[in-house]
């Protein structure tokens, strides 16, 4: 599966906002861009889409920035994917009136339809909070390593 950069960076930006706004402070887009090594201009375009999708709220002013519009455990990955690129979870032949036949139909029914179904089931259960927990667990494991010279 090929995920475009906009989707990947949108998920990264949402996770960054969730992690850095835990104390109630708004997260500035310039800080996200710097921490995640993302072009600020491109990040602003992604944040606009996420704001229109009602994943984040923006606040202007000296203490302005972004907050999640709802808790991370209420933000499903399938909703993020559909907002940033509605083709990811679409079936191969959903948009096309021309349905395959013969072996191509069997391959579609047996392989691609099932794969798409499994992926949807997985994504519909995963939340932004799940990703953040994975990230924090990785950080904790990194800090527990002892290096001896």
Within-domain flag for 139? yes
| Domain span including residue 29 | 5-143
The alpha carbon dihedral of 26, 31, 32, 35 has a sign of negative
Q: What is the predicted pLDDT for the residue at 105?
A: 80
Within-domain flag for 72? yes
Asked if 13 and 36 count as a contact pair (C-beta separation under 8 A), the reply is: yes
Within-domain flag for 60? yes
Give 84-134 pLDDT, tens digit per residue.
998 776 654 454 556 667 888 888 778 878 888 888 888 899 999 999 999
CATH of the domain at 75: 1.10.10.10
Within-domain flag for 148? no
Asked if 84 and 6 count as a contact pair (C-beta separation under 8 A), the reply is: yes
Mean pLDDT score of the chain, rounded to an integer?
A: 86
Within-domain flag for 65? yes
pTM for the full model? 0.82
Q: What is the predicted pLDDT for the residue at 1?
A: 60
Within-domain flag for 115? yes
**Residue appearing with tokens 């602003």:** 44
- Specify the number of domains making up the chain: 1
**Residues 45, 121: Cα–Cα separation, whole Å:** 29
What phi and psi values does residue 8 have, to the nearest 5 degrees? -60, -50
The residues near 51 (Cβ < 8 Å, ≥ 6 apart) are 57, 58, 66
Within-domain flag for 149? no
Within-domain flag for 50? yes
> Nearest to residue 16, comparing CAs of 79, 85, 65?
65
């Amino acid at each position: 599966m090929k995920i475009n950069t906009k989707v990947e960076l949108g998920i990264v930006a949402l996770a960054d906002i969730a992690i850095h706004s835990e104390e109630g402070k708004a997260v500035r887009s310039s800080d996200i861009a710097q921490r995640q090594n993302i072009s600020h201009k491109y990040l602003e375009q992604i944040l606009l889409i996420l704001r229109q999708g009602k994943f984040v709220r923006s606040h202007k002013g000296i203490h302005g920035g972004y907050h999640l519009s709802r808790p991370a455990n209420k933000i499903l990955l399938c909703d993020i994917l559909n907002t940033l690129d509605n083709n990811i979870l679409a079936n191969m032949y959903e948009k096309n009136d021309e349905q395959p036949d013969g072996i191509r139909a069997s391959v579609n029914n047996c392989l691609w339809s099932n794969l798409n179904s499994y992926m949807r089931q997985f994504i519909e259960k995963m939340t932004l909070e799940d990703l953040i927990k994975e990230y924090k667990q990785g950080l904790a494991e990194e800090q527990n390593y002892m290096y001896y010279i």
